[in-house]
Amino acid sequence: MSVQFETTYNVSMSCEGCVADITKAVDSLAGISSVKCDIPTQTVSISGSAPPSEIVAKIQNTGREAVIRGSGQSGKGAGVCILENFSKSACPVNKGEKVVDLDGISRYVSGLARLIYLTPSSVFLDLTFTPSSFSSTATYSATIRQTGDLSNPPHSLGPVVANLGELNCKEGRCTLFKQFDMGLYDIIGRSIWISSDANGDANADGVCGVIARSAGVWDNDKQVCSCTGKNLWQERTEALGKGIN
């Protein structure tokens, strides 16, 4: 039986018509228990077992943008992992993705994994990934690795500590939604490696990232970043430009 969790979103809403559109769109997903919209705070709170990335897509289909503010349980935190391609031969799929140089290595964002606290010993994984060169016959597998050392992935990542399984790929986009038995605090600081080789050998489509802590539900109410001075909608636009959905 799937453990349910709560996720909060900021969504631009001006009237009850907005609320009705959002509620109808989200309710069409399996695993939704409740949808609560608050127009004054521009907040939508959703409980259930549906992946947050699928909920964001449904809200976007109404013509509105959605920003995830927190998930899981208040005070428990969550995890996030930005997946980047470190291959020197890789080219961005979407024009909006920005290439960044780090110590002479070209990399670009190709996916995002969210890890949601369910119980002290279980986590819900919401992972999306866009391969650099999509093949309808290719299969991709994900693993959690022992370290977060990105100096020479996958070799610097250490041994596998958890096999997350095979991704579901369709029309150039791969996803993996699952509940698995590990404590959230046991995987913070480790890494996720995705490869078309089940054993995790290096290849052109290998991507990885470090699992960092993020906000639990109702633990993040900031509207402006103290570091950049950008509001949450400006940061959302910037993230979309880098391929982070």
Using one digit for the tens of pLDDT, what is the confidence trace for 116-138?
A: 999 999 999 999 988 876 666 67
Quote the CA–CA distance of 21 and 19 in Å, as a whole number: 6
In which residue ranges of the chain is CATH 2.60.40.200 found?
Answer: 78-214
- 78-214: CATH topology is Immunoglobulin-like (2.60.40)
The mean pLDDT value of the chain amounts to: 80
Strand partners for 174 = 129, 169
- 5-75+216-241: CATH topology is Alpha-Beta Plaits (3.30.70)
Strand partners for 83 = 111
Contact 240, 98 (CB under 8 A): no
More confident of the two residues 42 and 234 = 42
Reported as a single tens digit per residue, the pLDDT across 1-53 is 578 899 999 998 999 999 999 999 999 999 999 999 999 999 999 999 999 99
Q: Where are the alpha helices (DSSP H) in the chain?
A: 16-27, 52-60, 184-187, 232-241
In which residue ranges of the chain is CATH 3.30.70.100 found?
Answer: 5-75+216-241
